[in-house]
Amino acid sequence: MKLGEIGEDRLLNQLALGKAVFAGAGDDCAIVEIPGSKKYLVLKTDCVVESVHFVHRTSASDVGWKAMMRPLSDFAAASAVPQFALITLIVPQKTKVAWVRGLYRGLRRAASRFDVSIVGGETSNTSGPIAISVSVIGFVEKSRAASRRGGKPGDHLFVTGRLGNALKRKHLKFVARIAESRWLTRNFPIHAMMDLSDGLGADLPRLARASKVGFDIQLKNLPVARGATIDKAISEGEDYELLFAVATRDRNRLEREWRRNFPKLLLTRIGSLNRKSQVANRKLPLGYVHFQQPR
Beta carbons of 166 and 238 less than 8 angstroms apart: yes
C-beta closer to a copy of itself: residue 76 or 280: 76
Q: Could you tell me the smallest distance in angstroms from the CB atom of residue 98 to a copy of itself?
A: 8
Distance CA 262, CA 5 (A): 43
C-beta closer to a copy of itself: residue 100 or 247: 100
C-beta closer to a copy of itself: residue 155 or 198: 198
C-beta closer to a copy of itself: residue 25 or 286: 25
Report helix, strand or coil for 11.
Answer: helix
Distance CA 170, CA 164 (A): 10
C-beta closer to a copy of itself: residue 79 or 272: 79
Q: Could you tell me the smallest distance in angstroms from the CB atom of residue 233 to a copy of itself?
A: 24
SS (H, E, C) 252-281: HHHHHHHHHHCCCCCEEEEEEEECCCHHHH
Q: Could you tell me the smallest distance in angstroms from the CB atom of residue 172 to a copy of itself?
A: 17
Beta carbons of 135 and 199 less than 8 angstroms apart: no
String of DSSP letters for 105-125: HHHHHHHHHTT-EEEEEEEE-
For residue 87, give the H/E element and its range: strand 81-90
Q: Could you tell me the smallest distance in angstroms from the CB atom of residue 62 to a copy of itself?
A: 17
For residue 140, give the H/E element and its range: strand 131-141
Q: Could you tell me the smallest distance in angstroms from the CB atom of residue 237 to a copy of itself?
A: 14
Distance CA 66, CA 171 (A): 7
Q: Could you tell me the smallest distance in angstroms from the CB atom of residue 234 to a copy of itself?
A: 22
Distance CA 85, CA 68 (A): 8
C-beta closer to a copy of itself: residue 110 or 243: 110
